[in-house]
Chains A and B, each alone.
Chain A
Amino acid sequence: MMQTRLRRPALALLTTGLLAVAVTACGGTNTSDEGSTTPSDDTSSAAGGGELNIALQGDITTYDPWSAQSGYNGSLLSNQALYDSLVHLDASGEPQPWLVTDWTEADSSHYTLTLRDDVTFTDGTPLDADAVVANFEYAKTATTPGECNEWVAGVTATATDATTVDIALDKPSVGFMTDLGTCAGLIVNPTAFDNPESLSSTPAGSGPYLLDDTNSVQGQVWAYTRNPDYWAPEAFPFDTIKLTYFSEATAASNAAKAGQIDLIQSVDATDTSSGLAIKLTSTDFRGLMFNDITGTLSEPLADVRVRQAMQYAIDREAIASAIYGDAAETGYSTPFTTEADGWTDALKDTYPYDPEKAKELLAEAGYADGFTVKVMTVPFIYGDAAQAIAGQLAEVGITLELSDQSADFFQQLTSKTWPMITYNFSIGTNPIHTYENLVSPNGFWNVMQNESPTIEDLLGQLDQAGDDAARTAILEEIAKEFQTESWYLSPTLVRGACAYDDQKLVVDSPPGSPVPFLYMITPA
């Protein structure tokens, strides 16, 4: 009997222990030291080649660079592995010789490129002037055009000999060589253009890496091994590269903590949960847009004094820091970052926070009692800040009726029924394109086809500017004019970021690129 009594509690304990193993979490809570672990089977070797593991936030849907969107998906990194680029960009965004060893710029419409003569595609086809010409021609006809195609849409390229390409643009383009350092300069084997569908699934490049089909799974993971015939292997120090798609940011963060990932391509600039170092990358010009500056839908907005009054009525610093913290700079309703050519500190003083001045301007315009205006919002673009702006405008008598139109965003955007909208515009590697796009009647956000003859004229003058100083002076005028015309109510310039293991890597990217460039990721 005594034996039985002793045995039962012992058995109960054993049972409980075994079940506790099954219900592992019950006894397993441990909140210590999340970020300091290094896996024993870590294959990342910073010093001598090794593997570079990158977490992507988007799928790689095509290997055709002329159909790829380079933004937040993985296409740019993948294509920089598989394809060689006409020029490289440095960390300040300046073009540097690469496949193009030298270039001359007769004016902003005429360029002559001199190519290396020792580069071949993986099938042995020479990468020569004819190949470059064929790429620019193909870019114009791609069924699903990539992000950069429009930058070479006006190119007429002529191969004058095997290594020389003359380029004539249908209109001047400042920063054309910078464009050739992005996805607009990745050169595809022209033999692949006969079968674009095949190109979408089978790369045809001359880049530093080859796709490792055996270890790649579409939509999940892409592995790359060195191209043994690449002419400049020292510029790409890693022996293998693995890109892994993570649909959830937390999973990528956990993988980084476990040492499975060295770099997360895109993170929220304030998100340090992965334990990795944060590198700020792109800048988004984000805010509320005065869609209806002709006053068709909301009469007050036609008066520039009303739009300017609204600029005075918002406390930019407070909104930027409260909503975005370190992830945003204060914006001054102009798409110029403080590092941009054309920025001057005087832009900060154009619209100080001055509700009284706002009320005066409203009274001058005949709206002393304020007015109400409808705003189409999309929470994932600018929801929180729109609420904050609405709160501050209410103080001067202006009521913003915010309406979430996420469900059919594009249809609503193009319906021309919203006098104001939330918008987000990425300032790219060549900001001139951003300025052009903002005032272009065909621009994505400019659905009312508003026109700014002054800014368009200034943009035109850029192409004729004789030197850098003259160009900067014009850009300063453009920056100011964006504020004066007051199409945008933007208290923030929101920063994109990537996260990387700074013990293993040194990471850089040209200004405006949402992701680091592959050749700017090197061992620490």
Chain B
Amino acid sequence: MARLVVRRLLLAVPTLFVVATFSFLLMQLVPGDPALMILGQNATQSQIADLHTQLGLDQPPMEQYVSWLGSAITGDLGTSIITGRSVVSSLSLALPPTMSLAILATVVSLLLGVTFGMLGAVKGGWTDRAIQQVAGVGLAIPNFWVAYILILVFALTFQLFPATGYVPINQDPVGWLKSLVLPVASIAIANTCQILLQTRASVLDVQSRDFIRTLQATGIRRGAVLTKHVLRNAAIPVAVATGISFIGVFSGVVVIEAIFNTPGLGNLLLTGVQGADFPVVQGTIVVFAILVILTNLAVDLATGWLDPRVRLS
């Protein structure tokens, strides 16, 4: 297992390099001039040219990238061209809201998905059909549409939760939870349905195996067979699906955080792209890449824990 961890962490280095390089190349296609955004259109040409020099924007793109890469290796992700703030400090402010969203959405999805997936598989009949129908609908609805409907119903009509914003947990834990309910629900719906369908399929598959029939024939209670044997064996694909859902949250946060004005990594990335602020975009994408790599590693570890065959291989 230790070898697996080391191997994965070593592989992360070239992965991060490729991701950073690719995102830098893509940023070259983004329209806009940061100096113009800073100084405005009433600035004189000489002011704009001076700021280009000051920000290093008059350097060839490759030189800018090599300079950024050299600093990034030492942990210095540079400073934002637009705000002048350290990228690391901006990322440290943006990480908690995004992680709060991602973790809560995944926990909620896992609990609901596994519960209803098992229920459908075990009960069968009308229950199963109803669960499948609702899950199909839940998967098909885009999360940004869900977000607007949730705002309309729960923020504007019933005023149960704020329409926008984020409250840090150390400032007000209840406010933190209230500020996350709607964005988490927007993300969790599709993820729940995904995990639900995976759980149902896995449980049905395991239930049909011979060893389950043998266990049942020996007189072990049905509940015990279900929790101790069926669920454990069905958990491996569910763990993988959960990992994919967790990673999927990161691709969805750009839209969801913009809708709810959540000051997380997604919003930081969006404003970075809008301002052609390449150090911010680079830093955010690297953090997203690290999160994806760590999630995959966690899924591998969980799979290994659940299935000894993976450990041995």
List chain A positions with a Cβ less than 8 A from chain B: 8-9, 11-13, 15-16, 18-20, 22-26, 28-34, 37, 39-40, 59, 61-62, 69, 71, 143-145, 147, 150, 200, 215, 217-221, 244-248, 250-252, 254-255, 257-260, 406-410, 414, 424-426, 428, 437, 440, 442-445, 447
Contact, CB under 8 Å: B83 / A220: no
CA distance A258 to B192 in the complex (A): 28
Interface presence of B114 (CB below 8 A): no
Collect the chain A residues with CB atoms within 8 Å of residue B36's CB.
409-410
Evaluate contact between A247 and B267: CB separation under 8 angstroms: yes
- A444 CB contact (under 8 Å) in B41, B145, B146, B261: B41
B10-59, CB < 8 A from A = 29-33, 35-36, 38-48, 51, 54
Is there an interface contact between B271 and A59, defined as CB atoms closer than 8 Å? yes
A377 CB to closest chain B CB (Å) equals 12
A144 touches B261 (CB 8 A): no
Choose among B45, B47, B48, B150 the residue with the greatest number of A CB atoms under 10 Å from its CB.
B45
Query: B130 and A16: CB pair below 8 A?
Result: yes
**With contact pairs A144-B38, A260-B162 given, residues A30 and B153 touching in the complex (Cβ less than 8 Å):** yes
Q: Mark B116-148, 1 if CB is under 8 A from A, else 0.
A: 100110010111011101110110010001100
For residue B47, which residue of chain A has the nearest CB?
A: A145
Interface residues in B, total, Cβ within 8 A: 78
B233 at the interface (CB under 8 A from A): no
Q: Is the CB of A23 within 8 A of B189?
A: yes
Quick check: is B93 within 8 A (CB to CB) of the other chain? yes
The reply to whether B40 and A260 form a contact with Cβ atoms under 8 Å apart is: no
Residues of chain A within 8 A of B188, CB atoms compared: 22
Closest Cβ of chain A: how far from B31's Cβ, in Å? Answer: 4
Q: CB distance B164 to A11 under 8 Å?
A: no
Which residues of B are at the interface with A, using a C-beta cutoff of 8 A?
29-33, 35-36, 38-48, 51, 54, 82-85, 89-90, 93, 112, 116, 119-120, 123, 125-127, 129-131, 133-135, 137-138, 141, 145-146, 149-157, 159, 162-166, 168, 171, 185, 188-189, 192-193, 258-261, 263, 267-268, 270-271, 274
Residue contact A19 to B152, C-beta cutoff 8 Å: no
> Is A62 touching B138 in the complex (CB atoms < 8 A)?
no
Contact between B93 and A428, CB atoms less than 8 A apart: no
- In the complex, the answer to whether B42 meets A428 with C-beta atoms within 8 Å is yes
B129 with A12: CB separation less than 8 A: yes
A30 to B171, CA, bound (A): 33
**A254 partner residues in chain B, CB cutoff 8 A:** 151, 155-156, 163-164, 259
CB-CB nearest in chain B for A9: B126
Q: Is the CB of B48 within 8 A of A444?
A: yes
Verify A444–B45 contact, CB threshold 8 A. Answer: yes
> In the bound complex, do residue B163 and residue A258 qualify as a contact, i.e. CB atoms below 8 Å apart?
yes
If A12-B127, A23-B189 touch, whether A217 touches B93 (CB-CB below 8 Å) is: yes
The reply to whether A24 and B165 form a contact with Cβ atoms under 8 Å apart is no
What are 20 A-B interface contacts by the 8 Å CB criterion? A8-B125, A11-B123, A26-B134, A29-B149, A40-B159, A61-B84, A61-B85, A147-B43, A247-B267, A247-B271, A248-B258, A248-B259, A251-B260, A254-B164, A254-B259, A258-B162, A260-B163, A408-B33, A410-B48, A444-B44
By Cβ-Cβ distance, the 9 closest A-B pairs, closest first, are A12-B126, A406-B31, A258-B163, A220-B263, A19-B134, A251-B261, A23-B138, A410-B33, A25-B146
Q: Are B32 and A406 in contact (CB under 8 A)?
A: yes
Would B83 and A26 count as touching, CB distance under 8 A?
no
**Are B258 and A251 touching (Cβ within 8 A)?**
yes
